[in-house]
Chains A and B, each alone.
Chain A
């Protein structure tokens, strides 16, 4: 069986950043990903990132992706593409497939950076072709350069809903409306203003009642909600669209962590069931680390920092860094992570993360 010092599963921002850290420390890394190209969801992020200069703010996501790929190549990281991992067995034997064949590789350490997938929303007509994830539409326009539709309604006003609405406009679609069930916009005001200025109608306290169409979407009925989030009769409004984009959050892709036997905590504010981990990103299984959206839904910037943390901690445990050197490096990453987790949105995440990490020291359940 093939062997490797560190196996990283998932070549998105977290996995790539982790691989770079370990390779820099002199470790030998194998990075596995089911896709034909590395980068995860970075290449569809054509907007400029937030944060300070240290976080490469002001640089567009796909440019950051190109830089990460260049670094992994320069450092000689072994990247196995088209290699979906289906399980982690005893003694860190990883089962995956390639070209229709079953394969296995054994690692001394594993870092899971499997990311997240978009949530669905249930309403009559939600399965009609033309109803899709906002991220799916983003992938189609920005990576594959294809428009999913001409007249689009966006459901959800978090940053994904806001940013993808703007990018759909950039790609030449008409975003007819954006609706949000809460009384206020969920994401950053700066993004909301941008799409409002571009003429997109924003309906807060509104939800989708049904989507109409024979073989695909032909229109949507939206309805106003009262303070108790109940539909208000008589406020129904038909909007002619051919595409409905759903931006109602993401859920961590935690299957491999479950299969490996990690202990979990249920943290709704981070997206659901999250593998418990400490400040080194190590789970309840010694030698098994996690990073990125799998450890709570955030952004690519924080995913990269978490990947670096996991990478440095992993290198330390392998003896590639002294305790002192590792502490110094980790402190720098933590300072950047704390800076990213500021403001009303960031602080909520920081608190949730802190509580989650406290669980590793025997704290009470989050509830």
Chain B
């Protein structure tokens, strides 16, 4: 959920001007915001599954330190979504284990 109105920061006038494809689903996002923020706004919480026990993981530190939020972005695995800006048309996938490199298109 986005914080549209804020008593200190005022109105958020940015527009959802980008579309990203998350596990095949189109999601509206703001170009330049971190991928993790766009997913959080869309209510997505599970970003990857662990290699051995297949357990879900999501955002923990949000500043690029913990690497819990890594996903496969445009075919590149282990991308820190909390510090990687959204670009229009990005293809984002929930990462299973250590992920796989993949050619896009």
Contact = CB atoms under 8 A, between A and B. Distances in A.
A147 B3 contact: yes
A41 B6 contact: no
Interface string A126-151: 01111111011101111011111010
A46 interface: yes
A133 B3 contact: no
- Point out which of A142, A146, A148 has the most chain B C-beta atoms below 10 A from its C-beta: A146
A120 B12 CA distance: 31
A133 B47 contact: no
Contact of A146 (B3, B5, B61, B65): B3
A144 B60 contact: no
A217 to B, nearest CB: 8
Contacts of A216: 45-46, 56, 58
Given A147-B1, A171-B3, A136 B63 contact: yes
A147 B66 CA distance: 20
Contacts of A129: 45-47, 56-59
Interface size class of A (residues with CB under 8 A): 35 or more
B8 A46 contact: yes
Interface of A is mostly: loop
A127 B8 contact: no
Nearest to A246: B60
Contact of B6 (A127, A131, A145): A145
B46 A46 contact: no
A121 B68 CA distance: 15
B6 A215 contact: no
Contacts of B60: 120, 131-133, 136
B104 to A, nearest CB: 16
A118 interface: yes
A199 interface: no
Given A117-B63, A127-B55, A132-B60, A146 B40 contact: yes
Interface residues of B, number: 35
A144 B37 contact: yes
- Point out which of A127, A130, A144 has the most chain B C-beta atoms below 10 A from its C-beta: A144
Interface string B1-18: 111111111001010000
A286 interface: no
Given A129-B56, A215-B56, A140 B8 contact: no
A60 interface: yes
B47 A35 contact: no
A358 interface: no
B58 A130 contact: yes
B75 interface: no
A172 interface: yes
Contacts of A52: none
A132 B56 CA distance: 14
Interface in B10-55: 12, 14, 33-34, 37, 40-41, 45-47, 55
A48 B44 CA distance: 32
A146 B47 contact: no
B97 interface: no
A130 to B, nearest CB: 6
Contacts of B41: 146
B59 to A, nearest CB: 6
B62 interface: yes
A146 B62 contact: no
B83 interface: yes
Contacts of A263: none
20 contacts: A34-B64, A35-B64, A41-B63, A46-B9, A117-B61, A127-B55, A127-B57, A128-B58, A129-B47, A129-B56, A129-B59, A132-B60, A132-B62, A133-B60, A136-B63, A140-B62, A142-B9, A146-B40, A147-B3, A170-B6
Interface of B: 1-9, 12, 14, 33-34, 37, 40-41, 45-47, 55-66, 68, 82-83, 85
Per CB-CB distance, the 3 closest pairs between chain A and chain B, nearest first, are A129-B58, A136-B62, A144-B37
Given A117-B63, A170-B8, 19 more contacts: A34-B64, A35-B64, A35-B83, A117-B66, A118-B61, A127-B57, A129-B46, A129-B47, A129-B59, A130-B58, A135-B63, A145-B4, A145-B6, A145-B9, A146-B41, A148-B40, A148-B59, A170-B7, A216-B58
